[in-house]
């Protein structure tokens, strides 16, 4: 009897792990919803990682998981990740950190080194917290990178719209024809926004304002406000678009220079650490000799 229970439990575990590795095929309704709905209202895609499918899906339905997902809603939408994927990565990182802290504490204890148990516990908890926080930091960094890419694509889009307006095209024609000339997720988001605004009978600036709120892109909100003030006159709209595109290019250039300077400063840190270790390596024998000589 015990062998049957153990075998049934083992087989159930293998089935669960296999289902997590393989994943589930999304239904046709979910796929069509991703195609037809704009970016701001698209349903969340199923998690792609094993941790997200096995653990994150269950944690996403809890109160704490929902609060964390709402707090990181903009970052999740910008990076294209799902809350279950993030929660699964956090659980996996926390488990790795806890295991690493436990191994370090066990190694210190086995080495007959006198260490405060409280310090070992704090070290283990710190490793646990760091492991859980790494996915969140990575998510925010990915969102910032994609946001910079979106600003670059938006500046190119505004240049195309201004060129078509200068050629005599109308505002709606220039907006819709220019967005079809680009590729990538940024132009897809702009294309979905224009299509949703057109189907709802709303001006495109309202759609840009909503997309700016959803992705936390300040330039889209500023563009919507300036276009609302410009009205429907082609000359004023073209001047506003050119001014906005020029300002975005200038800001992008300043951001690029700032990131390059920060990268140059970070490159000097390993050299400083290496030189510090070299000085300690050379000076340690002399210090020990002087101390023991005294």
- Is position 77 within any domain? no
- Is position 264 within any domain? no
- Dihedral sign for Cα 44, 49, 54, 56, please: negative
Residues 6+ apart with CB under 8 A from 166: 238
Structure tokens at 136: 């969140």
Find the mean pLDDT for residues 72-99: 82
The pLDDT assigned to 31 comes to 54
Can you give the residue range of the structural domain that contains 173? Answer: 148-253
The pLDDT assigned to 43 comes to 47
Q: Which of 38-42, 75-79, 124-128, 277-281 has the lowest mean pLDDT?
A: 38-42
- Is position 19 within any domain? no
Is the model's pTM score more than 0.75?
no
How far is the C-alpha of 226 from the C-alpha of 244, rounded, in Å? Answer: 9
Distances from the Cα of 90 to the Cα of 59, 78, 123, angstroms: 11, 19, 18
4 vs 179, which has greater pLDDT?
179
The pLDDT assigned to 234 comes to 56
- Is position 92 within any domain? no
Structural domains in the chain (count) = 1
Measure the N-to-C terminal CA separation of the chain; round to a whole number of Å.
74
Give 41's pLDDT tier (boundaries 50, 70, 90): very low
Question: CB atoms < 10 A from the CB of 76, how many?
Answer: 20
How far is the C-alpha of 80 from the C-alpha of 289, rounded, in Å? Answer: 60
- Is position 183 within any domain? yes
Tell me the three state secondary structure of residue 181: coil
Q: What is the pLDDT of residues 117-145, one digit of tens each?
A: 776 778 778 888 888 888 888 888 888 88
User: Which ranges of 111-233 would DSSP assign to H, the alpha helix?
Assistant: 117-166, 171-179, 185-199, 204-215, 218-230
What average pLDDT is seen over the chain?
Answer: 75
- Is position 193 within any domain? yes
- Is position 121 within any domain? no
- Is position 201 within any domain? yes
* CA–CA–CA angle 288, 289, 293 (5° rounding): 115
């Amino acid at each position: 009897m015990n062998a049957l229970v153990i075998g049934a439990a083992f087989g159930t575990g293998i089935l669960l792990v296999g289902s997590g590795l393989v994943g589930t095929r999304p239904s046709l309704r979910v796929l069509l919803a991703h195609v037809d709905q704009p970016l701001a209202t698209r349903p969340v895609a199923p998690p792609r990682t094993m941790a997200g499918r096995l653990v994150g899906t269950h944690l996403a339905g809890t109160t704490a998981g929902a609060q964390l997902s709402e707090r990181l809603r903009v970052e999740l939408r910008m990076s294209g990740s799902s809350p279950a994927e993030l929660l699964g990565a956090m659980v996996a990182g926390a488990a790795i950190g806890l295991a690493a802290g436990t191994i370090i504490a066990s190694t210190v204890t086995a080495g007959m080194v006198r260490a405060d148990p409280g310090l070992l516990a704090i070290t283990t908890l710190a490793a646990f917290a760091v492991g859980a926080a790494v996915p969140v930091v990575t998510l925010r960094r990915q969102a910032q990178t994609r946001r910079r890419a979106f600003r670059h694509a938006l500046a190119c889009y505004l240049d195309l719209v201004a060129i078509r307006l200068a050629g005599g095209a109308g505002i709606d024609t220039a907006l819709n024809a220019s967005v079809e000339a680009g590729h990538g997720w940024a132009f897809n988001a702009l294309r979905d926004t224009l299509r949703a605004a057109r189907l709802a009978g709303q001006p495109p600036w309202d759609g840009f304002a909503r997309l700016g709120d959803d992705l936390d892109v300040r330039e889209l909100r500023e563009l919507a406000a300036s276009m609302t003030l410009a009205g429907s006159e082609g000359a004023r709209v073209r001047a506003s678009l050119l001014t906005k595109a020029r300002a975005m290019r200038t800001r992008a250039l300043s951001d690029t220079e700032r990131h390059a300077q920060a990268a140059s400063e970070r490159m000097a840190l390993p050299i400083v650490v290496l030189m510090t270790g070299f000085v300690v390596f050379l000076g340690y024998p002399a210090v020990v000799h002087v101390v023991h000589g005294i």
